[in-house]
Structure 1
C-alpha cells in the first residue's frame, strides 16, 4: 500500500499517541471534573476512526464526554447549523469558508485537521481491476456489475466528484443504472465488504479505516481529488471545548491521523 496513504512506522505511532495522551492529561489539569460536560461534534465520515479514538482518550483524561455524530460533509454541516446545542463541526475546509463568508457560521475559529484523497475500493478477495489511467478506470466501471458511492444529494464530496468523472468519461447512464447510493462513505464500505458492491467510490481515509486491503487506489490523473478537512469552533466556546479542539489539531495527533489515511498539514 502506498506510503502516502498509510504510515507503517508503528513504534513511532505509539510514541506520538502517548504524547497525545500526555497533552490530554495536561489539559485535564486545568479543567474541573466537577463541571463535566457533554459536547456534540458533527463530522464528515472521512475522519470517523481517528476522531473516535481521540474522543475516547479525551474523555478518559478529562471526564468530559464528546458525542460524535457522523454524516456526509454537507449533511454534517446542515445538522450542526440546525442544532443549537452543537459544539464542534468537522467538514471540508471549503464548506467552512463558504459558511463563514455567507454568515451561516460566525465568530468562530477554523483549524485544519488534514487532507484525504478520493479513490476506489473493491472486496479484498474479489476482482482487483486496474484504475491507474482514465482508460483503465472507464473499463473497470463498465465491467463492474454493482457500484456504490455516497449520495451527492446529501452533500457527499466524493459523490459529487464521481458524477463529474463518469460524465467526462461518457458513461454516466451506464454507471448510474447499476449504482447504489449510500448514505455516506461508511455505508459505501459496508456494501463493498459485505459483497453487495463490486466497486466502491469514497474517500481513501474511509477505505483504510474500514479495511486497508480493499483499497484499489486514488482517482487517476486529471480526476484526482484531494479534500482538506477542518474543525470549526465558536470563539466563545467553553474551556473544555477549546481543549478538545486543541487536542484534535495538535502535532501530537498527526501520526494517528496518518495511520488512518489522512495527510495532516505540514
Structure 2
C-alpha cells in the first residue's frame, strides 16, 4: 500500500470481493470530504497477513470471523463495527454453454466429476471461495478424482477469465468477482447444504489517526442508499 499522501488521507484494507463498489465510493467520498482514499484489496487471508505483518490501515473490511479476531486482539475499535453485506459462492459457466444442474450435493458432485477442467482460486492464497472449495472436495470424497483437472488461479476474477476463455468448463468463485468478467455468467449458487456465505464487516483500526474520517467512510459504505449498488455487484446488504 502506498504511503499516506496527506494528514487526512484514509487507508482502507478490504477483501477484494467488495472492490467494485468500494472503488467508486472511495472516489466520491474523497471528493465530498477532501480526504484521499487509498485501498489495499486482496484475499482475506492475504490482507490479514499484511496487517498482522505491520502494514497499517485506518479502516479494515474483512470477514466477520477475522474482524472478531481483530477485536479480541485489540486491532479494531469495537464500537465502530458495521456489517456491509454477505457473499455466496457461485458456479461460473461460459456464455452460450448450458449450465449443469447443481441443485443438490450429488448433482454438484457429478458436475465436478464430469467436467474436463475446473477453475478455482488457489486455496494457498487464503481467499474465501478457494479455501471452502478445497474443503468441499475432501468432504465430497472426490479430491483425488478431480485434483488433476483443477486450474488454480490467483483470484476469483482470474478464475472467471479461465472459464470465459474456454480453458475451464466451469469455475467456482465468489459472485462479485465473477460479475465484472465478460464471456461468463453465474449459472447457480452452490447447493444450500454446501454453500458458505461470507459476511463482511467494516471497522476502524485502533491505529487509525483519522478516526472520524474512518467512521464516516464506514457509514457511507453501510448506507442503505448504496444497497442497490451492492446487490448489482453480487453482495447482499444486511
Same fold (TM over 0.5): yes
State whether residues 103 and 191 of structure 2, in contact with CA within 8 Å, keep that contact through their aligned partners in structure 1. Answer: yes
> How far does residue 202 in structure 1 lie from its aligned partner after superposition?
1.1
2:227 paired residue number = 254
> How far does residue 184 in structure 1 lie from its aligned partner after superposition?
2.2
**Is the aligned partner of 1:105 residue 2:78?**
no
TM norm structure 1: 0.78
* CA separation of 1:252 and 1:221: change in aligned 2, threshold 3 A: closer
Counterpart selection for 1:232 from 197, 203, 217? 203
* CA separation of 1:218 and 1:93: change in aligned 2, threshold 3 A: same
Aligned residues: 230
Q: Could you say which structure has the higher helix fraction?
A: 1
State whether residues 116 and 262 of structure 1, in contact with CA within 8 Å, keep that contact through their aligned partners in structure 2. Answer: yes
State whether residues 160 and 181 of structure 2, in contact with CA within 8 Å, keep that contact through their aligned partners in structure 1. Answer: yes
Distance 1:50 1:262 in 2: 9
Q: Structure 1, unaligned stretches of length 5 or more?
A: 1-34
Q: RMSD over aligned Cα, in angstroms? A: 2.2
2:110 paired residue number = 139
Q: Structure 2, unaligned stretches of length 5 or more?
A: 1-5
SS of the residue 1:177 aligns to? helix
Counterpart selection for 2:215 from 234, 242, 249? 242
The 5 Å alignment of 1:80-119 reads: 80-101=51-72, 103=73, 105-108=75-78, 109-119=80-90
* CA separation of 1:123 and 1:240: change in aligned 2, threshold 3 A: same
Distance 2:77 2:201 in 1: 16
Counterpart selection for 1:210 from 174, 181, 188? 181
State whether residues 81 and 104 of structure 1, in contact with CA within 8 Å, keep that contact through their aligned partners in structure 2. Answer: no
